[in-house]
Amino acid sequence: MSEQTKVGASAAQAVEQGGIFAKLLVFAALLAIAPIASYFLSKDYLWDGNTVFAAITAIIAANAVLIGYIIVSIREERLGTTARGPAESKKNR
């Protein structure tokens, strides 16, 4: 019985790690692409060739990715503790 719970726990861990890995990959790609893309796109379409405003837009995009990552990581931790809380109380019973 304990072996089955161990296998179940490691499978759940593998799924959890796959989800975290996907999130991290998305944020890494966003951090690489969003600032440069926003620089060039805003320079041509928003600011009419003004490079200073385009650079400021790129900086805002990079910091938006950072703030998004902080929010996602805090929410992930909250979800993790509430999911583990009821499971642990069931085990204690």
Partner 1 sequence: MSVCPPYAPFFGFGGVASAMIFSTVGAAFGTSKAGIGIAGLGTFKPELIMKSLIPVVMSGIIAVYGLVVSVLIAGGLRPNDYSLYAGFIHLGAGLACGLTGLAAGYAIGFVGDSCVRAYVHESKVFVAMVLILIFGEVLGLYGLIVALIMNSRATEAPSCT
Write down the least CB distance from residue 13 to partner 1, Å.
Answer: 9
Nearest-5° Cα angle at 46, 65 to 64: 10
Q: List, in sequence order, the alpha helices (H) in 1-93.
A: 2-41, 51-92
State how far the Cα of 88 lies from the Cα of 91, in Å rounded to an integer. 5
Given candidates 14, 59, 60, 71, which one binds partner 1 under the rule CB under 8 A? 59
Residues near partner 1 (CB under 8 A) are 20, 23-24, 27-28, 31, 35-36, 39, 51-52, 54-56, 58-59, 62-63, 65-66, 69-70, 72-74, 76-77, 80
